[in-house]
Amino acid sequence: MGGREGRPMNSDELYALLRRRGVLWPSSEIYGGAQGLYDYGPLGAALKRRIEDAWRAWFLGLSDDYYEIDPAELLPEAVVRASGHLENFTDPEVVCDGCHRAYRADTILESARPEGVDGLSSEAIADLVRRFAPRCPACGAERLRVPRPFNLMFGLEFGAAAGDRAYLRPETAQNSYLAFARMWEVGRKALPLGIAVVGKAFRNEIAPRQILYRLRAFTQAELQIFFDPERWTVPIDVVRHDALPLVLARRRAAGDESIHPTTVEALVREENVPEFFAYHLAMAHRFYRDVLGYPAGRLRLFEKSETERAFYNRLQFDVEVNLDSLGGFREVGAVHYRGDYDLSRHSAGSGRDLAVTTGDGRRIVPHVLELTFGVDRNLWALADLHLVRDGERTVWKLPPYLAPLQVAVFPLLKKEHGPVARTIAEELRGEGWAVEYDDAGNVGRRYARVDEAGIPFAVTVDRETIEPGPAQGTVTVRLRDDRSQERLARARLAARLRPAFVFPHPPRAG
RNA sequence: GCGGUUGUGGUCUAGUGGUUAGGACGGUAGCUUCCCAAGCUACCUACCCGGGUUCGAAUCCCGGCAACCGCACCA
């Protein structure tokens, strides 16, 4: 599959189109909007739900031992203290009052404190700055200061008791770690155990940017897989020959930033990536390529180096998509190998021993493989990559199972064909599909509208449908992507369309 | 957060102190139309918010909000 046709749209054009069609718009819009907050309209809400369901079908379909839970969005303070978010989800900054440049505190204090500033209070950092870094590296002014620490979490009063605090979760992953002990019982005490959460997360970003790319309230779909690092076998043969578009940290360190298609087999053998990691990375790659339909040439799996990734991540590949509207490759998901960091932290924080006994009698703290997926970012990517200008028309070539509305039904002429068309629309709604009925203007206009909304099929009732003759009882089905038409008996409509709406499932080893 | 630019119907835009705030596309209703935004008629919708200057502000000034670009940030 090639890339998009026609002229690429920039961010403004794409956003204007999405606003106009009611896909999304600024939150609290009549008050001028709120930075980093957007609302999804009818098309956006339906599309988002489809994306989430496609994600569920794929990732929960990987194993019978992967489960979805629906936990609370609020985390008590003790949780975020244990996870490290209270302490570390801040950016110690140093700002120059002369030229307004900002620096990371650990950069500016490199010579005075090579071990970094993690864990130091802002007062301690301010003191170090006063003593060791009197000049701004850019303008030379002696006006460096440490602004108040800025935690990226939204905190709130919790309950009536003064001083009790909770936080809106900055990531859904924490809920899965918190649920592990309970799920260990529910899941019949076996590893691997996958716990998925699809839901909102909240970050008080300093500078939200680029519409859906950096939000203050956003939706994540995350799967945390708890496993025994000494024995986890995956059906690697299923993906052994998949070519992954890798950008390896090792090559980047040598100055090579380009994509090297590499088989899963080679990734395991030559790069020493564990099989369980390579397998899930390959399955994630298939999801973006085959389920979301991103052109293969626009995807890359970008390995984060040791200094780029969080210290507890042993291995991290970001899934990046090349988007015209955002000017290049942007992260839309990731695969992290987090070791036993999360359960160890919560063991220490809660006092609850989260180690488990394996079938062969070993006592271990399970390790975690994390698959994250940014729902909003991918919704944007689906617009960027699939919403194309095709000559005069604008067509949203979404995979049919992702389309917010499944079918449109038109009477070719409102009066003559309306009644029959309406009964057909009702029949199709009976299939559980969202059906748009439209009898306004002429049929060409209606086709244009459904093209823009991404509705894959338009069913049209005409004279032949109604009048006696060989074609009585037949309708035309018009396909969005190539405008071709088929004529078929209305009784066969549902059977004809149904396969297009099935979410792809991952292949399972035989 | 800092600096710059910008803010007119749903969308794109004209308007630089006094306009019934104009157009295009769009939407709605009707007519017409037997398959891809045609045509005819009528209608619909706007000066981001709040102050100030002025006889008079969409227009000038200040503040706020928001967007875009750059800087910084993105555990």
For every residue of A353-386, DSSP letters joined together read: ---EE-TTS-EEPPEEEEEEEEHHHHHHHHHHHH
The pair of three-digit structure tokens given for residue A387, joined into one six-digit string: 């919403």
CB A334 within 8 A of CB A171: no
The pair of three-digit structure tokens given for residue A187, joined into one six-digit string: 């899941």
Domain A11-73+169-387 in CATH 3.20.10.10? The answer is no
Cβ within 8 Å of residue A361, ≥6 positions away? none
Beta pairing partners, A67: A195
Scanning every strand, the nucleotide with its C1' closest to A88's CA turns out to be: B75
CA of A224 to C1' of B7 (A): 44
Burial of A219 (0-12, 13-18, 19+ CB in 10 A): buried
Beta pairing partners, A410: A460
CB A405 within 8 A of CB A453: yes
Q: Give the pLDDT of residue A110.
A: 62
- Looking at A328-487, list the stretches that DSSP marks H as alpha helix, in order from N- to C-terminal side: 341-350, 375-386, 414-429, 443-453, 463-466
Scanning every strand, the nucleotide with its C1' closest to A171's CA turns out to be: B75
Can you state the percent helix, strand and coil of chain A, rounding each to 5? 35, 25, 40
Domain spanning A90-150, CATH architecture? 2-Layer Sandwich (3.30)
The pair of three-digit structure tokens given for residue A386, joined into one six-digit string: 């699939």
Q: Give the pLDDT of residue A118.
A: 54
The pair of three-digit structure tokens given for residue A260, joined into one six-digit string: 């090297």
Report in angstroms the alpha-carbon separations of A76 from A79, A84, A154, A164, A294. 6, 13, 12, 8, 39
Longest dimension (CA), chain A: 95
CA of A30 to C1' of B17 (A): 29
CB A404 within 8 A of CB A46: yes
CB A25 within 8 A of CB A38: yes
CA of A327 to C1' of B27 (A): 33
Q: Per CA to C1' distance, which residue is closest to B33?
A: A442
Paired sense of beta strands A356-357 and A363-364, if any: antiparallel
Helices (H) and strands (E) in chain A, counts: 16, 26
Scanning every strand, the nucleotide with its C1' closest to A487's CA turns out to be: B35
Q: Give the pLDDT of residue A486.
A: 97
Q: Where are the domains of chain A?
A: 11-73+169-387, 74-87+155-168, 90-150, 405-501
Q: What is the DSSP letter of A214?
A: B
CA of A51 to C1' of B65 (A): 33
CA of A479 to C1' of B68 (A): 37
A222 φ/ψ sector (left φ>0, alpha ψ -120 to 50, else beta): beta
Could you read off the pLDDT tens digit of each residue along chain A, which spans 510 residues? 333 456 678 899 999 999 999 999 999 999 999 999 999 999 999 999 999 999 999 999 999 999 999 999 999 999 999 998 987 766 566 666 666 566 666 666 666 665 555 555 555 666 677 677 666 666 666 666 665 567 889 999 888 777 789 999 999 999 999 999 999 999 989 999 999 999 999 999 888 989 999 999 999 999 999 999 999 999 999 999 999 999 999 999 999 999 999 999 999 999 999 999 999 999 999 999 999 999 999 999 999 998 888 889 999 999 999 999 998 999 999 999 999 999 999 999 999 999 999 999 999 999 999 999 999 999 999 999 999 988 788 999 999 999 999 999 999 999 999 999 999 999 999 999 999 999 999 999 999 999 999 999 999 999 999 999 999 999 999 999 999 999 999 999 999 999 999 999 999 876
CA of A406 to C1' of B30 (A): 30
Q: Mark A386-412 as b/e (b = at least 16 C-beta within 10 Å).
A: bbbeeeeebbbbbbbbbbbbbbbbbbb
Helix (H) or strand (E) holding A243: strand A243-247
Scanning every strand, the nucleotide with its C1' closest to A462's CA turns out to be: B34
Helix (H) or strand (E) holding A93: strand A93-96
- Spell out the SS3 assignment of A177-238: HHHHHHHHHHCCCCCCEEEEEEEEEECCCCCCECCCCECCEEEEEEEEEEECCCCCCCCHHH
Report in angstroms the alpha-carbon separations of A369 from A274, A279, A309, A312. 11, 11, 15, 12
B strand bases under 7 Å from protein CB = 1-3, 7, 10-12, 27-29, 31-39, 48-49, 64-75
Scanning every strand, the nucleotide with its C1' closest to A150's CA turns out to be: B1
CA of A215 to C1' of B26 (A): 30
Scanning every strand, the nucleotide with its C1' closest to A452's CA turns out to be: B37
CA of A19 to C1' of B23 (A): 23
Q: Give the pLDDT of residue A87.
A: 78
Paired sense of beta strands A155-157 and A328-339, if any: unpaired
Starting at the edge strand found earlier in the chain, the sheet holding A155-157 runs A74-76, A165-168, A155-157
Scanning every strand, the nucleotide with its C1' closest to A394's CA turns out to be: B37
CA of A366 to C1' of B70 (A): 45
Cβ within 8 Å of residue A102, ≥6 positions away? A93, A94, A95, A96
Query: The CATH number of A405-501 is which of 3.40.50.10740, 3.50.30.10, 3.40.50.720, 3.40.50.800?
Result: 3.40.50.800
Q: What is the DSSP letter of A317?
A: E
Q: Give the pLDDT of residue A3.
A: 39
